[in-house]
Amino acid sequence: MQTFKALSAILSYPSRDLLDAIDEIGAVIEREALAPQDERRALLALLEEFKGRDLYDLQEQYGLLFDRTRSLSLHLFEHVHGESRDRGQAMIDLKAVYEAKGLQSDPRELPDFLPLFLEFASLLEFEEARELLEQPAHVLTALAERLNKRNSRFEAVFRALVAIARTKPDMALLEVLRGEPDPAPDDLEALDAAYEDEAVHFGQDDDPAQCGKDTLAAKLRQARRPAPGLETSGQRPVFTHSTNV
């Protein structure tokens, strides 16, 4: 579905090619109509905002939001596994899933980068892509809420993705994300503190041969720091939140 490629382009680092393709991107979103009308209207408003902005201003805004602010990271496993050892294995598994469908990604880009994730979704049949989007629905919802707090029209992309998934996010996992720090991009002290976690450890405790749809689902559904009193799963999935961080 070309809509996923269009949304991937919107969430990629702004370029002259992106600005030149604004009308084409909007036409794809309207023609396929995967998202409900209200969400499509918000996406088109975001694209219109792009038209009226200087490229360098767009790049600066993008950097402040998605590169400088950890709570808005476009790397899905940042919100799912944090800096635990599980994140490394999750990367390996996700890359294998991509390659099984013929997607060869840029080795410089981590496989959990949301634009790449959406590029992969565009290769799938719609129902399979929709089920894929269900898995990180709590992450997408939390990102939408954080962007709303900043009055950013980028919220529209995440609202559209949740709407396309046709699912309600797991509220227990969403509450975990809501309870995490969400500093403003100009709060340098808070941002420094947010990045003081331990480095990622690429462990091999889990069997790589087990990677696949169910494995990926388990990884995307995990919450990295369960809130007190919240149970995130009644049964241990194939890959669980690691205690070795």
- Count CA atoms within 13 Å of residue 84 on its CB side: 19
Average pLDDT of the residues in 67-89: 84
Of 225, 226, 205, 220, nearest in space to 137 by CA: 220
Of the ranges 40-44, 45-49, 89-93, 218-222, which one carries the lowest mean pLDDT score?
Answer: 218-222
Average pLDDT of the residues in 24-47: 97
Average pLDDT, the chain: 79
94 band by pLDDT with thresholds 50, 70 and 90: confident
| pLDDT in the model for residue 187 | 56
Task: Judge contact between 93 and 208, C-beta under 8 A.
Answer: yes
Ranges of each domain in the chain: 2-77+114-192
Of 109, 172, 118, 98, nearest in space to 141 by CA: 172
pLDDT, tens digit (0-9, with 9 covering 90-100), for 168-207:
998 999 999 999 988 776 555 545 555 554 444 333 344 4
Measured CA to CA in angstroms, residue 193 lies from 70, 76, 120, 183, 189 at distances of 11, 20, 33, 10, 6
| pLDDT in the model for residue 224 | 38
pLDDT surpasses 90 at 106? no
| pLDDT in the model for residue 146 | 96
Task: Judge contact between 3 and 121, C-beta under 8 A.
Answer: no
Of 6, 215, 217, nearest in space to 122 by CA: 6
pLDDT surpasses 70 at 13? yes
122 band by pLDDT with thresholds 50, 70 and 90: very high
pLDDT surpasses 80 at 231? no
Kindly state the tokens that stand for 78: 């940042």
Q: Is 59 helix (H, G, I), strand (E, B) or coil?
A: helix
Measured CA to CA in angstroms, residue 127 lies from 8, 70, 100, 168, 213 at distances of 18, 31, 18, 16, 13
DSSP annotation of 68: S
- C-alpha–C-alpha distance, residues 97 and 200, integer Å: 21
Kindly state the tokens that stand for 5: 């490629």
pLDDT, tens digit (0-9, with 9 covering 90-100), for 2-12:
999 999 999 99
Q: Which residues in 79-102 are b (16+ Cβ under 10 Å) and which e?
A: bbbbbbbbbbbbbebbbbbbeeee
User: Hunting for tokens 């959990």 — which residue is that?
Assistant: 112
Average pLDDT of the residues in 42-54: 94
Average pLDDT of the residues in 157-174: 94
222 band by pLDDT with thresholds 50, 70 and 90: very low
| pLDDT in the model for residue 89 | 83
Task: Judge contact between 177 and 142, C-beta under 8 A.
Answer: yes
223 band by pLDDT with thresholds 50, 70 and 90: very low
